[in-house]
Structure 1
């Protein structure tokens, strides 16, 4: 079951999570807040563009953590979308999809440092885009 929230709640959550992530030292907690901040900002932008009030009104395919799909819905530059790549795990031959990075950081899965660094760079670009789009 998902929790539905309004456009203004998403805007506030975006700002709070972005500011908290930027004030923290690098690591999983900051990465997690960066991911969730980008998700909230992108969903707020989609609600704005579609004239919707709540996430309850979003189509089912946008009611998840798939930032790539949200980015495509917002028509973000293909060059940015292409950079939303899976990250390799540090000690295994497994990969973590970009949409599931929040789980890796939440549960403590170690990621290859270079992959994680690139994912965080993309997430920070998404935060910057959201800040400009939402004028916050």
Structure 2
């Protein structure tokens, strides 16, 4: 139990330290949480495919693995194209990404958020941990 609590505290600290760094770059906490939500949804979709063999809810070419391999302006452009395409879907995905826009336009900071998300397995994480982050 102590290990789980330590993990929760460590992850929460990591998420909010990054939020503070981004706030120093003019990215507000609300924008950060929104972007975090969009990215976490993509990551958990990928985990669902990997762990449970489910079909991805995200169109090919716009999935998590299409983002994590990119850097620089290519990353920003792909993320923006992904948000646009997902916001235009006529299903639950479209609802989740309604009017989605990238608020982390500096590639280095977008990469930091993506890297932090990619280091964890979010789908199997306890709901209390995710709740503590938000």
Q: TM over 0.5: same fold?
A: no
TM-score (structure 1 length as normaliser): 0.32
Larger RCO, structure (CA 8 Å, separation 6 or more):
2
